[in-house]
C-alpha cells in the first residue's frame, strides 16, 4: 500500500550525479524521494562534458541559453609533451570535425550546473525533496527503508546512491570499496589570457602530472594543474601575480600572457572503485561507485552514464510491471557499468603512472603511443570516438 512515506525510488546525494539522476527520474515520472545531503561548499571546478552528457542535460531540460552562456565549446583537444624527457613525444591534436562533430563537448562550470539542476528538480511533481542527508538504509528483501536526519522512515523499492566518496548508502548495502591515493594534488582556477584559445583544450604532459587548460567564454580558460603534493602547496601560497607568471611559463606562451587568476581550489588526487556497482536494491552512481583522477575528462561523464543507465533500467522494469529493485535489474546495471568504467580507470591510472615515472621503457612506450596517434588517422578517430563515449551500450537518452 502506498502511503506518503512510500515511494518507488529514493535518490541520495545533491552533487551533479545525484541531481542528474533525480531529474531523469522526474522526467520518467517515477515517484521519487530525494535527499541532497549537507550544504555543498563553493565548487570552483569546471567540467568538460562530452556530447552524450550534453544530450542528457538537454533531455532533462537544463541545457538552456542561460547555462550555455557560461560554457565554451571544445572543438579541439591537444596533448603536448612537456616532460623534457627523451624520447620526446610529438604533439597530438584531436579535431572534432575528424569524427564529423562540430565539437567534442562543452566546458561547463560546476556551480551553475548544480544550481540549474536544483532549480529544474523543483518542477517535477513526482519528486519530493527532503531536507538534509540520509543516516542509513535498512535493506530488506522486498523493500528498503531510508532513515534520514529529518524525516520519518521512508519505504522504497530501489535506491540510487550518489552520496559521494564516503557514501553511507554504499555501506548500508554492504558493498566494500577499494581506495588508493596518488602523491599528487590538482589546483583548479580560471584565468584570462592575451591570445584566443580558439576552443582548444591543451593537456601539457609534465613529469609531475598533466596541466590542462580548458576554454571558457571569451578570452578565459579554466585550469586543472596536477602537481606533487609538496609543489602544489607552494603554488597555493603564491600571490596572484606570481601564480599568473608561473602559469604563463608552464603553458609556454600557448595562450599568451596570463592575468586575472580567480580563487584557487585544491583536490587531492585519489582513485576508488566499489566491489559491486549494485546490490540489495541499491544502484551506485558517480563517485559513490568510482573515483578517477581528473585526466582526460572522464569522471562526471562516466557518472552521468551511470545515472542514465540506472534510470533507464528502473524505468524498463516498471514499464514491464516488474520489481524495479529486483536482482536481475541490479545485475544488468553492474555488468553494463563495469565494462565502461574499468578500462577507463585502468587507462587513466596507467597514463598518470607512466607520466610520473622516470623509468625509460615507460617513456619510450608513451612517446611511441602518442606518435602512433598523431600519424595514424583511423587509430586517432577510434580513440576520439571512445573518448567521447563507449561505441556500444550508451544509455538511450545519451545517444548522439
Ligand X SMILES: Cc1cc2nc3c(=O)[nH]c(=O)nc-3n(C[C@H](O)[C@H](O)[C@H](O)COP(=O)(O)OP(=O)(O)OC[C@H]3O[C@@H](n4cnc5c(N)ncnc54)[C@H](O)[C@@H]3O)c2cc1C
Applying CB under 6 A, the residues found at the interface with ligand X are 12-18, 35, 37-38, 40, 45, 47-48, 133-134, 162-164, 168, 186, 188, 224, 267, 286-287, 294, 297-301, 303
C-alpha 54: how far from its chain's center? 12
CB-wise, 278 or 317, nearer to ligand X?
278
Q: What separation in angstroms does the CA of 382 have from each of 144, 199, 244, 373?
A: 42, 22, 36, 10
- Residue 45 CB, nearest approach to ligand X (Å): 5
- Min dist. Cβ of residue 27 to ligand X (A): 18
Closer CB to ligand X, 124 or 130, in the complex: 130
**Closer Cβ to ligand X, 276 or 301, answer by number:** 301
Question: Rounded to an integer, what distance in angstroms lies between the CA atom of residue 6 and that of residue 32?
Answer: 9
Q: How many CB atoms lie within 10 A of CB 380?
A: 19
Quote the cell numbers at residue 389.
563515449
Q: How far is the CB of 348 from ligand X (least distance, A)?
A: 11
SS (H, E, C) 9-65: EEEECCCHHHHHHHHHHHHCCCCEEEECCCCCCCCCCEEEEEHHHHHHHHHHCCCCH
Cα–Cα distances (Å) from 43 to 109, 158, 188, 274, in that order, read 9, 29, 10, 25
112 vs 133 by CB, closer to ligand X: 133
Q: Which is nearer to ligand X, 208 or 317 (CB)?
A: 208
If the CB atoms of residues 104 and 317 are measured against ligand X, the closer one turns out to be 104
Task: Report in angstroms how near the CB of residue 29 gets to ligand X at its nearest.
Answer: 23
Q: How far is the CB of 285 from ligand X (least distance, A)?
A: 7
CB of 4 to ligand X, least distance (A): 20
**Distance from C-alpha of 338 to C-alpha of 249, rounded to nearest angstrom:** 40
Amino acid at each position: 500500500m502506498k502511503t506518503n512515506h512510500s515511494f518507488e525510488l529514493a535518490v541520495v546525494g545533491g552533487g551533479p550525479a545525484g541531481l542528474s539522476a533525480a531529474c531523469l527520474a522526474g522526467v520518467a515520472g517515477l515517484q521519487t524521494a530525494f535527499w541532497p545531503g549537507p550544504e555543498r561548499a563553493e565548487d570552483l571546478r569546471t567540467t568538460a562534458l562530452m556530447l552524450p552528457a550534453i544530450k542528457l542535460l538537454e533531455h532533462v531540460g537544463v541545457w538552456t541559453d542561460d547555462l550555455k552562456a557560461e560554457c565554451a565549446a571544445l572543438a579541439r583537444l591537444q596533448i603536448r609533451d612537456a616532460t623534457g624527457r627523451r624520447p620526446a613525444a610529438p604533439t597530438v591534436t584531436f579535431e572534432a570535425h575528424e569524427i564529423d562533430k562540430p565539437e567534442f563537448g562543452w566546458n561547463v562550470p560546476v556551480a551553475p550546473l548544480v544550481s540549474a539542476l536544483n532549480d529544474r528538480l523543483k518542477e517535477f511533481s513526482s519528486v519530493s525533496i527532503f531536507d538534509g542527508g540520509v543516516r542509513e538504509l535498512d535493506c530488506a528483501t522486498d523493500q528498503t527503508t531510508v532513515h534520514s536526519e529529518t524525516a520519518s522512515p521512508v519505504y522504497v523499492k530501489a535506491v540510487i546512491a550518489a552520496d559521494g566518496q564516503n557514501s553511507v548508502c554504499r555501506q548500508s548495502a554492504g558493498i566494500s570499496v577499494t581506495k588508493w591515493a596518488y602523491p599528487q594534488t590538482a589546483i583548479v582556477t580560471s584565468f584570462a589570457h592575451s591570445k584566443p584559445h580558439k576552443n582548444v583544450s591543451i593537456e601539457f604532459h609534465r613529469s609531475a602530472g598533466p596541466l590542462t587548460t580548458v576554454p571558457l567564454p571569451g578570452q578565459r580558460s579554466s585550469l586543472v594543474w596536477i602537481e606533487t603534493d609538496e609543489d602544489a602547496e607552494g603554488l597555493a601560497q603564491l600571490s596572484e601575480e606570481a601564480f599568473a607568471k608561473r602559469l604563463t611559463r608552464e603553458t609556454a606562451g600557448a595562450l599568451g600572457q596570463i592575468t586575472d587568476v580567480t580563487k584557487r581550489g585544491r583536490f587531492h588526487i585519489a582513485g576508488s572503485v566499489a566491489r559491486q556497482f549494485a546490490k540489495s536494491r541499491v544502484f551506485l552512481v558517480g563517485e559513490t561507485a568510482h573515483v578517477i583522477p581528473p585526466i582526460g575528462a572522464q569522471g562526471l561523464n562516466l557518472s552521468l552514464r551511470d545515472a542514465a543507465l540506472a534510470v533507464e533500467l528502473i524505468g524498463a522494469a516498471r514499464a514491464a510491471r516488474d520489481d524495479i529493485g529486483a536482482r536481475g535489474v541490479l545485475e544488468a546495471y553492474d555488468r553494463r557499468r563495469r565494462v565502461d568504467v574499468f578500462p577507463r580507470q585502468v587507462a587513466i591510472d596507467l597514463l598518470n603512472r607512466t607520466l610520473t615515472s622516470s623509468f625509460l621503457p615507460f617513456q619510450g612506450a608513451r612517446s611511441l603511443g602518442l606518435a602512433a596517434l598523431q600519424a595514424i588517422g583511423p587509430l586517432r578517430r577510434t580513440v576520439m570516438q571512445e573518448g567521447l563515449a563507449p561505441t556500444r551500450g550508451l544509455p538511450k537518452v545519451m545517444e548522439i
